[in-house]
Amino acid sequence: MMLALEMYRSLPRYIAARAMGGRIPGILTGPAAPVRLVTRDEPRLAAPGWARVKPVLSGICGSDLGALFGQTSLYFSALVSMPFVPGHEVVGVLQDDCDDLPKGTRVVLDPVLSCAARGVERCESCASGQTNRCDRITVGHVSPGLQTGYCADTGGGWGGVLVAHRSQLHAVPEGLSDERAVLVEPLACAVHTAQRAEVPDGGSVLVSGAGAVGLFATLALRELTNAGRISVVAKHPRQRELAKAFGASDIVAPDEVPARVRRATQAFRLAPERSAEFLLGGVDVAVDAVGSKDSLGTALRVTKAGGRVVVSGMPSTGADLSPVWFRELTVAGSYASRGGDAFDKAFDLAASASLDGVVGGRYPLYRWREALDHAHSAGRLGTVKVAFDLRSSR
């Protein structure tokens, strides 16, 4: 048996709507809470090649909050199986030998549950090494689930034990602290975002959002591409500091984006009737690292004709696609990462970047309400990443 946080039902839509805008503590303590702390059976090994992992630290991701609070598109309801234990940003310790990795190895998780983990013949995406694009995430050895942390059979990082397939495991180099290792998965996603951005040499980039997704994207863009000016949209003082430390050229407040991008890129600024300002001209690449209608809308409206907009945060719905048509923008999704190479680069970033203090809140499982509330208000509270500390909840 193990202690775990379990998402066991969807938040009703009418409550989800009310949860927008900071009412999350009420949701978590009320009778409609979609998540609960339970004692449940440990997940079973699905097949050969699987092993148990004891999470040590497990991060709380924006996509977790979106799923818990019903802010995510119902599109994803076909890609999960309930009840599940959330948590896909994990550093933990192997409890069994797993192929070449001996029991006791410290590992981080690539959460994507692709063909290899599911024991099915590789789909076209997996065969080409793009496991994040796997087409078989609903079949095979385990129940539907795009990732560990959304699948009923695997457990997740917010519980005492999870099971993972060898294809999901990366050994942590000695000397890399747990506090840095837990950031490797989100850093791998940021590496993938930088790759998907296809920034031209010296190109101008706008990163819309300075939560963990935006800050890590800024770091990866600066370290791994030849981007010129990288402007980061940030609200809070600590976010501004970190964005600078991670390579931002300048920091822009949300309400000054069109004006500031116009000046930096010599664009024309237009103010349409009863609609938001937009530019003719603008940045070469914009990265939406929030996923809100406003954030994506801003990214689309300040990207130059023929430019590229990368959707990096889990999106909500409703942005105006007029600029995509009129400016012939390329909209590129960035979901998870392509595994091996992205994780190699992420381990390098985790070791070299100034990440001390980035995990700013650590909670045992039984303080889950505080943890989720802290994660929801992280930006305002000057925290980048909140994590569950499983060492203290056993």
Which spans of this chain sit near Zn ion (rule: CB under 5 A)? 114-115, 123, 126, 134, 136
The amino acid at 14: Y
CB of 120 to Zn ion, least distance (A): 7
Rounded to an integer, what distance in angstroms lies between the CA atom of residue 95 and that of residue 103? 5
State the residue for tokens 């097949």: 47
Three-state secondary-structure class, residue 81: coil
CB of 257 to Zn ion, least distance (A): 38
CB of 144 to Zn ion, least distance (A): 13
Three-state secondary-structure class, residue 145: coil
CB of 337 to Zn ion, least distance (A): 15
CB of 114 to Zn ion, least distance (A): 5
Three-state secondary-structure class, residue 231: strand
Q: CA gyration radius for the chain?
A: 20
CB of 357 to Zn ion, least distance (A): 38
CB of 123 to Zn ion, least distance (A): 3
Contact 156, 148 (CB under 8 A): yes
Among residues 114 and 154, whose Cβ is nearest to Zn ion? 114
Among residues 126 and 285, whose Cβ is nearest to Zn ion? 126
Among residues 130 and 249, whose Cβ is nearest to Zn ion? 130
Three-state secondary-structure class, residue 124: helix
CB of 342 to Zn ion, least distance (A): 17
Beta-carbon contacts of residue 168 (< 8 Å; ≥ 6 apart)? 109, 110, 111, 112, 113, 117, 148
Among residues 136 and 196, whose Cβ is nearest to Zn ion? 136
Contact 204, 376 (CB under 8 A): no
Rounded to an integer, what distance in angstroms lies between the CA atom of residue 49 and that of residue 340? 17
**DSSP one-letter code for 101:** B
Among residues 80 and 134, whose Cβ is nearest to Zn ion? 134
- DSSP letters, 341-379, are HHHHHHHHHHHHS--TT-EEEEE-GGGHHHHHHHHHTTT
Among residues 28 and 123, whose Cβ is nearest to Zn ion? 123
Among residues 134 and 230, whose Cβ is nearest to Zn ion? 134
43 preceded by a cis bond (ω within 30 of 0):
no
Among residues 115 and 182, whose Cβ is nearest to Zn ion? 115
